[in-house]
């Protein structure tokens, strides 16, 4: 039981996130209104994604320095779960965009598809999808581990210009971006109040712990399958 406390914490935090996210009071910000509840899902999943990609990067660097095959297994497992969270985050973001930009503001689909934040997020996810395509293109396990470890470093570095830097430098419909009139930045402390914080921070922890839990199961399966190689 003492080794599973973080799994229990994950379940409790996510139950709290779902119940609190739908039932607890939220501030009525301009344009966002009730849709700001998606902060607990969309933004939290992306935070968890960044954490898992960071862990994957660490294991790729460990593989390059120590050449231990288990580090490649850890790196690919964390990258896989991180990519899945990225897809979920993109999907929840698309739902959010539909309600705030299309329904409320009457933006056209062409403007939505050209939105820099969505384009950057899509490129970032595709870069990590290419990581797994690259892994599948090798038959030599050592070469696969070595080349994809180097690529993983590149993929993580590219997260920052595609998601965080470039979309903030150009005009965007996304809240908080230059030229945006569609709401407020989700993490601006002038806008996010205690009603959001008491659910948002537990949500980030809960999604991250769940993602780590899923990843550990994948790793255990891979280690059992590749036991002879280790």
Which two tokens mark 37? 């509840």
Please say whether the beta carbons of 225 and 69 come within 8 A. no
Which two tokens mark 11? 């379940």
Distances (CA, A) of 221 to 3, 146, 148: 19, 22, 20
Give mean pLDDT, residues 204-221. Answer: 95
**What pLDDT digit, counting tens, does each position of 71-106 carry?**
999 999 999 999 999 999 988 888 887 777 655 555
pLDDT higher than threshold 90 for residue 199: yes
Give mean pLDDT, residues 55-67. Answer: 95
Q: Residue 179 phi/psi, 5° resolution?
A: 85, 0
**What gap in Å lies between CA 116 and CA 121, rounded to an integer?**
8
CA 199 centroid distance within chain: 18
**What pLDDT digit, counting tens, does each position of 128-157 carry?**
999 999 999 988 889 999 999 999 999 999
> Which DSSP string corresponds to 145-159?
HHHHHHHHHHHHHHH
Burial of 60 (0-12, 13-18, 19+ CB in 10 A): buried
Please say whether the beta carbons of 28 and 124 come within 8 A. no
pTM of the model: 0.87
Q: Find where tokens 């930045």 sit.
A: 185
Q: Can you give the three-state secondary structure of 36-102, one letter per residue?
A: HHHHHCHHHHHHHHHHHHHHHHHHHHHHHHHCCHHHHHHHHHHHHHHHHHHHHHHHHHHHHHHHHHH
Residue with the larger pLDDT of the pair 185 and 107? 107
**What gap in Å lies between CA 43 and CA 92, rounded to an integer?**
9
Residue with the larger pLDDT of the pair 18 and 187? 18
**What gap in Å lies between CA 185 and CA 187, rounded to an integer?**
6
């Amino acid at each position: 039981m003492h080794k599973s406390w973080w799994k229990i914490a994950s379940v409790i935090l996510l139950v709290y996130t779902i119940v609190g996210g739908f039932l607890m009071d939220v501030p009525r910000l301009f344009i966002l209104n009730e849709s700001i509840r998606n902060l607990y899902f969309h933004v939290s999943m992306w935070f968890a994604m960044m954490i898992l990609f960071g862990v994957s990067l660490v294991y790729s660097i460990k593989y390059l320095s120590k050449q231990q095959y288990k580090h490649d297994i850890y790196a690919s497992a964390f990258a896989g779960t991180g990519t899945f969270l990225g897809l979920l985050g993109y999907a929840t973001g698309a739902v959010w965009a539909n309600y705030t930009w299309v329904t409320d503001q009457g933006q056209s689909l062409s403007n939505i598809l050209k939105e820099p934040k969505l384009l950057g997020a899509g490129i970032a996810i595709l870069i990590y999808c290419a990581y797994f395509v690259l892994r599948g293109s090798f038959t030599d396990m050592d070469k696969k581990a070595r080349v994809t470890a180097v690529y993983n470093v590149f993929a993580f570095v590219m997260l920052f210009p595609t998601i965080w830097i470039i979309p903030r430098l150009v005009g965007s419909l996304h809240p908080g971006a230059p030229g945006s009139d569609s709401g407020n930045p989700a993490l601006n402390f002038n806008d996010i109040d205690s009603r959001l914080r008491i659910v948002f921070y537990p949500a980030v922890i809960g999604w991250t712990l769940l993602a780590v839990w899923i990843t550990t199961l994948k790793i255990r399966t891979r280690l059992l399958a590749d036991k002879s190689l280790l």
